[in-house]
Amino acid sequence: MVHDVVSQDAADAAARAWMTALAMFASAQPNGSSRVGAHGTAQLVTGAPMPLLNGVIGIGRDADPEEIAAFAASPALESVAWSVQVRGEPVDDRIVAVAADHGLDRRSMLPFMLKSLGEDDLPEGKQESGQRSERKSERKSERASVRDSEAAGLTVRRVWGDEAGLYRAALAAGYGGPEEIFSVFVARPVMDHVAMRGYVAELEGVVVATSFGVLVDDFVGVFNIAVPPEFRRRGYGRAATEVVLCDAYEEGARTAFLHASPLGVPLYQAMGFQLAENWSLFTA
């Protein structure tokens, strides 16, 4: 049964799952840490050189200004680029002031999008149509041949820690940054984690897109959708995303979540994602 993924309760559950996913990622880093306060404020330190992945986040519906102020004063944030994030667009003036006191006076919106997963997210030929599914091991063994037939030779496969260099280079090409800043995403505890999965889409041996999924109970978080400029607008990013959803559905996930750029919203809407809410992001 497809449920309302943009209800307030669904958005609350997805926000908690997002924080759990990021805490899992942080715990896989040598100096990573996370904590959640009594009033729903989270502190996250992943060590990634991106403010979005470090900072103070109001996970609850109503962010607590005092708790956010206390967390923002933590010494743990002094060595990383960080942000203040709050769910929703109206933000308490006291929270805006806390962010400004720490030099975080640039405000932007982060669309938070959800998608209800079902058999439609399985490749054609694997949908059950009311019949009992085959054993999971048999489905997995068929997956490669299904992918090989898609997009005129495009294949999407999972990558592990022994291919960290390949995945790091692909992320750098897709996001347009130096390889070293993506090292946190390819640490072996991340790539080989039971709940975290990196993927590459390849065409004739060339990586044309990346994706990453994090399983949290019956949710899957979608991250690292990156396509080098010369391969964009060909559906490769979508194919890489679809494999994350397919694999997660087979593992029991029933709702996907992601943060999109404002420009990326129409693409994800075309894939069935719905805008649940905007988050307010404060950075330097």
Query: Tens digits of per-residue pLDDT, 23-71?
Result: 999 999 999 999 999 999 999 999 999 999 999 999 999 999 999 999 9
105 in a domain, yes or no?
A: yes
Determine phi and psi for 84, rounding to 5 degrees.
-110, 130
Does one domain contain both 105 and 125?
Answer: no
175 vs 195: CA distance, rounded Å: 24
How confident is the model over 72-93, as a mean pLDDT?
96
**Does the pLDDT at position 105 exceed 80?**
yes
Is the residue at 217 inside a domain? yes
pTM of the model: 0.89
> What's the confidence (pLDDT) of residue 5?
75
State yes or no: pLDDT of 142 exceeds 50: no
Judgement on whether residues 180 and 231 belong to the same structural domain of the protein: yes
Beta carbons within 8 Å of 12's beta carbon, 6+ residues apart: 60, 61
Span 256-272, mean pLDDT? 93
pLDDT at 134 over 50: no
**Structural domain containing residue 131:** 118-253
Using the predicted structure, report yes or no on whether residue 137 has a pLDDT greater than 60.
no
- Given 89, 113, 137, which residue is the final one in a domain? 113
Whether residue 279 is contained in a domain is answered as no
Same domain, 157 and 61: no
Count up the domains in the chain and report the number.
2
Within-domain flag for 280: no
Q: Which of 224, 201, 202 is nearest to 214 (CA)?
A: 224
The pLDDT tens digits of the residues spanning 237-247 come to: 999 999 999 99
Q: What percent of the chain has pLDDT over 90?
A: 84
pLDDT value of residue 126: 58
Could you tell me the CATH number of the domain that includes residue 233?
A: 3.40.630.30
Are 150 and 35 within one domain? no
Residue 277 lies in a domain: no
Average pLDDT, the chain: 90
Both 95 and 34 in one domain: the answer is yes
